[in-house]
């Protein structure tokens, strides 16, 4: 079972801005965030947000959400929504990634949100909890609403009018999320491509040539790379290396294998090649990582 996320998208850093709209009179939005990563950031573990719906909008970058064994391509303009009972994680945040997100606190039974009458409040919550799609193409209104929320918080306006204005924008954003979620997701990933992705994850030590992938999917080289990256968030080679690194972490944590043997067993040309790729992905050498894991 995924654990609640205790630290991450809810704190300010050099590359992430976070606001608590409860301080501005909108208690149902404890987290409004914006990220702008200037270097690659590793993804967090699969987690949930207790009592909250998480809505994330991609502004820039080719990303991928993972949730309960499924990968959701997350490209510019995409929106990804998770209920409190749906574990999820962003696989990684490449350099240049930009996202907006918020946590929407679900009301307890009988309570309303955003100063709505009980009937309208229940209608909104029911729709948000039964979205037909979790990952879908948003619209310009959603992106504009995210920006407007920050602009209102930064303005000189204060008091009841500011909280009323914020509540109005939050409601508009939520309604647009409901409407956009009804759009059918773009289904352009062939079964052959999905099968290849699964096979690479299971046997990453194999030598996977681009010619083999082209032959099996019957796609052109450029189309294959585009669709592969949309599906996994990485190029074919990048995904292969990522799977090898993940398997290496598991074996390093268990111990009992030399770096040279591990490198060869995972398909790397040499221990030096493996160590270089591992440090590029994790920031640590294999031995440093193994010491920390143990």
How confident is the model over 30-55, as pLDDT tens digits?
A: 999 999 988 888 778 889 999 999 99
Between 277 and 233, name the one with better pLDDT.
277
Q: Same domain for 269 and 123?
A: no
Give the model's pLDDT for residue 7: 43
Contact indicator for 36, 174 with CB cutoff of 8 Å: no
Residue 83 lies in a domain: yes
**Alpha-carbon gap, residue 41 to 49, rounded angstroms:** 20
Q: What is the 3-state secondary structure (H, E, C) of 123-191?
A: HHHHHHHCCCCCEEECCHHHHHHHHHHHHHHHCCCCHHHHHHHHHHHHHHHHHHHHHHCCCCCCCCCCH
Q: What is the mean pLDDT of residues 86-114?
A: 91
Give the model's pLDDT for residue 143: 93
Residue 111 lies in a domain: yes
Give the pLDDT confidence of 174-216 residue by residue, as tens digits. Answer: 999 999 999 866 544 567 888 898 899 999 999 998 888 887 8
What percent of the chain has pLDDT above 70?
94
Question: Domains in the chain: how many in total?
Answer: 2
Q: Decide: residue 102, CB within 10 A, 0-12 exposed, 13-18 middle, 19+ buried.
A: buried
**Alpha-carbon gap, residue 83 to 80, rounded angstroms:** 10
Q: Is the pLDDT of residue 2 over 80?
A: no
Q: Same domain for 143 and 79?
A: yes
Two tokens, residue 99: 């996202």
Two tokens, residue 289: 């990582």
Contact indicator for 165, 157 with CB cutoff of 8 Å: yes
Give the model's pLDDT for residue 9: 57
Q: Is the pLDDT of residue 96 over 60?
A: yes
Q: Same domain for 44 and 132?
A: yes
Give the model's pLDDT for residue 6: 44
Q: What are phi and psi of 76, to 5 degrees?
A: -50, 130
Residue 216 lies in a domain: yes
Residue 186 lies in a domain: no
**Alpha-carbon gap, residue 198 to 217, rounded angstroms:** 14
Rounded to two decimals, the pTM is: 0.64
- CATH code: domain of residue 74: 2.60.120.280
Where a domain ends, among 153, 180, 207? 180
Q: Same domain for 73 and 162?
A: yes
Between 168 and 183, name the one with better pLDDT.
168
Question: CB under 8 Å to 72, separation ≥6 — which residues?
Answer: 64, 65, 66, 80, 134, 135
Closest among 6, 57, 67, 54 to 35, alpha carbons compared: 57
Q: Same domain for 145 and 34?
A: yes
Residue 234 lies in a domain: yes
Contact indicator for 86, 129 with CB cutoff of 8 Å: no
**Alpha-carbon gap, residue 143 to 233, rounded angstroms:** 22
Q: pLDDT grade, residue 1 (50/70/90)? A: very low
Considering Cα of 221, then 62, then 65, then 245, what sign does the dihedral take?
positive
Q: pLDDT grade, residue 294 (50/70/90)? A: low
Q: pLDDT grade, residue 151 (50/70/90)? A: very high
**Domain containing 15: what range?**
3-180
Give the model's pLDDT for residue 194: 84
Closest among 233, 244, 253, 228 to 277, alpha carbons compared: 244
Q: Where are the beta strands (DSSP E) in the chain?
A: 3-4, 16-19, 31-36, 41-42, 47-48, 52-60, 63-67, 70-74, 78-82, 89-90, 92-93, 98-105, 135-137
Q: Same domain for 230 and 195?
A: yes
Give the pLDDT confidence of 236-255 residue by residue, as tens digits. Answer: 999 999 999 999 998 998 88
Residue 185 lies in a domain: no
Give the model's pLDDT for residue 282: 87
What is the chain's mean pLDDT, rounded? 88
Residue 109 lies in a domain: yes
């Amino acid at each position: 079972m995924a654990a609640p996320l205790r630290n991450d998208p809810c704190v300010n850093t050099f590359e992430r801005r976070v606001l608590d709209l409860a301080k501005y009179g909108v208690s149902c939005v404890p987290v409004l965030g914006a990220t702008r990563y200037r270097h690659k950031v590793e993804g967090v573990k699969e987690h949930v947000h207790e009592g909250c719906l998480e809505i994330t909008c991609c502004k820039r970058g080719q990303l991928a959400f993972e949730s309960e064994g499924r990968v959701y391509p997350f490209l510019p303009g995409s929106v990804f929504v998770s209920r409190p009972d749906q574990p999820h994680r962003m696989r990684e945040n490449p350099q240049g990634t930009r996202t907006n997100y918020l946590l929407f606190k679900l009301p307890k039974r009988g309570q309303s949100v955003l100063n709505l009458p009980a009937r309208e409040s229940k209608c909104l919550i029911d729709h948000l909890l039964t979205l037909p799609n979790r990952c879908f193409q948003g619209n310009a209104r959603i992106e504009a609403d995210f920006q407007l929320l920050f602009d209102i918080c930064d303005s000189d306006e204060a008091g009841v009018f500011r909280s009323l204005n914020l509540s109005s924008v939050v409601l508009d954003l939520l309604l647009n999320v409901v409407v956009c979620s009804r759009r059918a997701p773009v289904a352009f990933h062939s079964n052959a491509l999905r099968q290849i992705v699964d096979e690479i994850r299971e046997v990453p030590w194999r030598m996977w040539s681009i010619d083999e992938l082209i032959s099996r999917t019957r796609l052109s080289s450029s189309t294959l790379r585009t669709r592969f990256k949309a599906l996994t968030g990485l190029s074919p080679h990048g995904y292969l290396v990522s799977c090898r690194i993940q398997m290496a972490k598991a074996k390093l944590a268990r111990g009992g294998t030399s770096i040279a043997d591990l490198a060869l067993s995972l398909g790397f040309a040499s221990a030096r090649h493996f160590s270089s790729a591992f440090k590029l992905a994790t920031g640590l050498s294999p031995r440093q990582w193994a010491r920390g894991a143990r």
